Amino acid sequence: MGCATLDLVGAASLKLNTNTHFLRSPKPFLSFVGPIRSRNLNGPSSTLLTCHAHKSRPSVSLRVQCTAAAPEEERVVVLVIGGGGREHALCYALKRSPSCDSIFCAPGNPGISNSGDATCISDLDISDSSAVISFCRKWVVGLVVVGPEAPLVAGLVNDLLKAGIHAFGPSSEAAALEGSKNFMKSLCDKYGIPTAEYQTFTDPSAAKQYIQKQGVPIVVKADGLAAGKGVIVAMTLDEAFEAVDSMLVKGSFGSAGCRVIVEEYLEGEEASFFALVDGENAIPLESAQDHKRVGDGDTGPNTGGMGAYSPAPILTKELQDIVMKSIIYPTVKGMSAEGCKFVGVLYAGLMIEKKSGLPKLIEYNVRFGDPECQVLMVRLESDLAQVLLAACRGQLSEVSLNWSAGSAMVVVMASKGYPGPYEKGSVIRNLDEAENVAPSVKVFHAGTALDPDGNFIAAGGRVLGVTAKGRDLKEACDRAYQGVEEINWPGGFYRRDIGWRALPLPQKQFVTRG
């Protein structure tokens, strides 16, 4: 690959990649006709190129000077699918990838655009595979990273691969690991993967009889995708019966709840384990631990996640080896044997059992977790674009990952009322001040929009992820909460004890400034 420098009279030089057909930007002022190629990339060469300028400017002829580049260097344009905090974190990491030419995010969000971490394409319909494929061809996208679960289950990756476009994420068949808890449990049974005992039901009376026999506490789960809210940990029989009725009788989760899984309650400490998979090989990411419950001390209903930290002390090197050997590798091999090879991120929600100290699989997600992705991406030092391309090509056995020392923490700021009904439209101020309050603070946007005056406003349940790195977990925690304290958002709330399991000392009680 070579680098072409265009010397324009009276204009700054532009650099092009010789492996791309066109140089474009969302608002191009130059469009280059034909591919740029040089037969001799071992030394300087030049060629004359005719360029058609923007409509308001005349065409020009330019002499292109080509110089050699390192042969192992590969440049790529990336499209990230999604618009939440996870996708913001992925864009942030890709922007730091040396081989990443440019990053698009669809639909993205105003925080991603405002930070310059990616160019957001808000009008691209990510549920329309043909529209996504057309966009990729138009902008010479070499890698698509699919963030949310819904487009994965819908088969976006299948369609991209058929079109010859590298896509990081599982096929719709493989995405059933998350799309159907019954599928995941059946795989565990068949391939000896340790998980909680369970039974699946479509009849509410049969489910209640099973619950009565097993006793409480017990866990009731909607089989399908329920935006992280389809899991009820019932401490009483009444709570368990109400969960069954909500899913099977009232249809609170729609088609996702037309079948329920009732499983044993596991006592211990939860942890999140991530592995990159290329269909045959798997490599672990750094450990992380999130906080699902809405309230301090892990109280209240489950949410999509109120905060996270990395690394997680509970996941020792010995435990990580056990997880890879007993859970991840059997899953990868089992999926291959079932005829639906898994490519993407396996996110294993684990319970480290109190009585045995060993991990059991609670559930799989088939994408980067949110908010765990935020702490992982700020710590990743490898070239993310190249790592994900290696996974797409079945070359993970050749990859090793580099991580920053120390720790990272993210504190989620959510709209008051979440995970129940919440109001939208409240104004959020001082976001720039939050990022400048301490070193290594980054505010990831998960659910923001802009009002007519250009102010950031809340547009979702989980709205911001205030993330910070530190030499250790305490410093990361202090910096993250300093950032949170700086934000002026009366309509929001957050947990004040993120990291409490790994930080035995009582944490400060911060109050959001009104």
> Which residues are within 8 A (CB) of 254 and not within 5 positions of it... i.e. 6 or more apart?
none
> Could you tell me whether strands 60-68 and 260-264 are parallel, antiparallel, or unpaired per DSSP bridges?
unpaired
pLDDT tens-digit series, residues 146-190? 999 889 989 999 999 999 999 999 999 999 998 888 999 999 999
What secondary structure letter does DSSP report for 176?
Answer: H
Residue 492 has pLDDT above 90, yes or no: yes
285-306 residue pLDDT tens: 999 999 999 999 999 988 989 9
Write the DSSP string, 187-256.
HHHHHT--B--EEEES-HHHHHHHHHHH-SSEEEEESS--TT--EEEESSHHHHHHHHIIIIIS-TTGGG
pTM over 0.85: no
Q: Which residues pair with 168 in a beta bridge?
A: 145
- Each domain of the chain, given as residue ranges in start order, spans 77-172, 197-265
Distance, CA of 289 to CA of 404 (rounded, Å)? 17
Q: What's the whole-number mean pLDDT along residues 12-28?
A: 38
Task: Find residue 458's DSSP bridge partners.
Answer: 448
* Bridge pairing between strands 427-428 and 343-353: unpaired
pLDDT tens readout for residues 432-485: 999 999 999 999 999 999 999 999 999 999 999 999 999 999 999 999 999 999
Structure tokens at 40: 């001799």
Question: Could you give the count of Cα atoms lying within 13 Å of 499 in the half-sphere of its Cβ?
Answer: 27
Residue 506 is predicted with a pLDDT of 53
Number of Cα atoms under 13 Å in the Cβ half of residue 89: 26
Could you confirm whether domain 197-265 is CATH 3.30.1490.20? yes
Residue 226, pLDDT above cutoff 90: no
* Residue for token pair 């010859």: 164
Q: What is the pLDDT, as a whole number, of residue 228? A: 57
Could you tell me the fold of the domain covering 77-172?
Rossmann fold (3.40.50)
Rounded CA separation 271/348 (Å) = 8
Residue 45 has pLDDT above 60, yes or no: no
